[in-house]
Amino acid sequence: MNRETMRRRGFSPYGPSKAALESETAIWAQDLADSGITVNALLPGGATLTGMIPEGLPDSARDGLLSPEIVVPPLLWLCSDAAAAVTGKRLDARKWMGVQPGSQPAQDALEDVGW
């Protein structure tokens, strides 16, 4: 999800609902501050081979799609003690490619939600 997708012609209701979720992530992170509960958004980082991809899409186009498993490394990091204080962030899983399990992610892999 990116700013363009949120506003792109033909992407309703997908784009607006993602924009709302991004806004809620920022609000919930603030509302739950100091409660021990964190709220973050985890994105694959691009078009991903999920059930939203039409069956008739040519293999040549499918080859460029991300695998859904791309979200596993940042998800495991979010579940670790290393991420205990991380809240109100957008994690782009594509930017985690090559990050060793248990390692701190690159700074640009954690962005504030809401731009």
Give the count of domains, the chain: 1
pLDDT (0 to 100) of residue 107:
67
Give, rounded to a whole angstrom, the gap between the first and last alpha carbons of the chain. Answer: 12
pTM of the predicted model as reported, rounded to 2 decimal places:
0.80
- Helix (H, G, I), strand (E, B), or coil: what is residue 5? helix
pLDDT (0 to 100) of residue 6:
74
pLDDT (0 to 100) of residue 103:
66
pLDDT along the chain (115 residues), means of 10: 73 85 94 96 85 80 86 90 92 81 68 72
- Strand ranges of the sheet holding 110-112, from the earlier edge strand across to the other edge: 40-43, 89-92, 110-112
pLDDT (0 to 100) of residue 58:
85
* CATH number of residue 52's parent domain: 3.40.50.720
> Among candidates 22, 25, 21, 63, which has minimal Cα distance to 46?
63
Domain encompassing residue 86: 3-112
Query: How far out from the chain centre does Cα 94 lie?
Result: 9
pLDDT (0 to 100) of residue 101:
62
d(CA 1, CA 44): 8
DSSP state of 104: P
Which tokens belong to 21?
């979720």
Phi, psi angles (nearest 5°) of residue 48? -125, 145
